[in-house]
Amino acid sequence: MQSLMRTLLTAAALVLPLALQAQTTAPAAPAKAPPTNFVAPAEPKPDESNAERGKTQPGNNAPFWRSVRESGEQPGYSSLPGAEKGMLIQPFVQYPGSRFTSAGEAWRQVRNNWILPYGGSLLLMVVLAIALFYWRKGSLGGHTPDTGRQIERFTPFERSAHWTNAIAFSVLALSGLVMAFGKFILLPIVGGTLFGWLSYALKTAHNFAGPLFAVSLLVVIFTFARDNLPRKEDLGWLARFGGLLGGAELPSHRFNAGEKLVFWAGVFLLGLVVVGSGLVLDQLVPGMAYLRGNMQVAHMIHAVAALLMTTLFLGHIYMGTIGMKGAYSAMRTGIVDEAWAREHHQLWADDIRAGKIPAQRTVAAVPPLAGQQN
């Protein structure tokens, strides 16, 4: 009996490992077939590398700039000298009405959504107002026949300073308007190639005319400041718009209140702001840090002041050309008839007749008025 038990235990010890091994190696039962409407999920597609993106989407640098933004505001390394050369994107700011964005994008939003639309609308309204006024009133003056007695209104030096400044301003205004509004108006008409060359030529002219305008502006300010000082008669002139809406102009001195307003607001204030901001944009202010933020602020100030200055000068140019008979000739030749002086600047003509002001300031410019002492 004992020998039988020993034999069974020995057999179990040999068979049990073989059974366990057979169970682990046995083939699995076949899986159920998927239902007919089952759709296997697509395998996740790996991110497209920059090289592959360059082949399928040329010029798309989104992954690069995304990594730049994700890296934060820490500047990287750059071998170029100067400030901010290692900062690819400006720090992020909160622009009103939008999400956080870079300071450069905020500047672009202000330029495209505020300065250009409102500035362009203001210029257009002024042009339409001038056209309407000319249609209703025509050229002012010419109601009094010439007397043949001439007065020197502008000396050769005054005319040279004025025309130099006027020509420089015209170049700056034209080139500035093309740079600001050209891509919306001219580009669809003339095409990219011609517009590119035109923009480049006008930008170069803008850079050369800027210093000439700055110097001639200072000369104009010092030359005409004395005769543009406010006087008590100017208040009555302004209160009645100089009589332009009535039948006759109100008496004024050498320059009326409207011309003085253009001088102090347009030539002096806005002119100096335009010149100062232009010097910053040209990096001609010594000791200043020319960071991108400073340049963007200078550009916005320059653009706003230039648009307001152009608006004022549109009225001045109109009155000096087709808006008033004899005004353009006065600045071209420097000479006006006594009748013209009395019609448009009666107080100035009275002072000349009384001998308080000489009829000519240039030697042998014109003969003196009858009854006036040299």
- pLDDT of 368 reads 52
- pLDDT of 49 reads 58
pTM: 0.77
Q: Are 216 and 165 in contact (CB under 8 A)?
A: yes
Phi and psi at residue 276, to the nearest 5°: -60, -45
The residue that leads in pLDDT, 72 or 350, is 350
- pLDDT of 4 reads 39
In this structure, the dihedral spanned by the alpha carbons of residues 194, 197, 200 and 201, taken in order and rounded to 10 degrees, is -100
- pLDDT of 20 reads 39
Alpha carbon distances (Å) from 74 to 77, 257, 289, 293 = 10, 56, 19, 17
- The tens digit of pLDDT for each residue in 1-52 reads 444 345 434 444 443 444 434 444 444 445 555 444 444 444 445 455 556 6
- pLDDT of 247 reads 66
**Hey, what CATH topology would domain 109-155+225-353 get?**
Fumarate Reductase Cytochrome B subunit (1.20.950)
Lowest mean pLDDT among 235-249, 250-264, 306-320, 334-348: 235-249
Spatial distance between the Cα atoms of 141 and 323, rounded to a whole number of angstroms: 9
- Would you list the DSSP string of 140-166? B---S---S-EEE-S-HHHHHHHHHHH
Spatial distance between the Cα atoms of 308 and 9, rounded to a whole number of angstroms: 112
SS3 category, 311 = helix
Spatial distance between the Cα atoms of 70 and 237, rounded to a whole number of angstroms: 63
- pLDDT of 187 reads 93
- The tens digit of pLDDT for each residue in 50-73 reads 566 666 667 677 776 666 665 555
The residue that leads in pLDDT, 182 or 367, is 182
Spatial distance between the Cα atoms of 288 and 92, rounded to a whole number of angstroms: 23
Mean pLDDT over 203-225 rounds to 96
Degrees, nearest 5: CA angle 140-122-106: 160
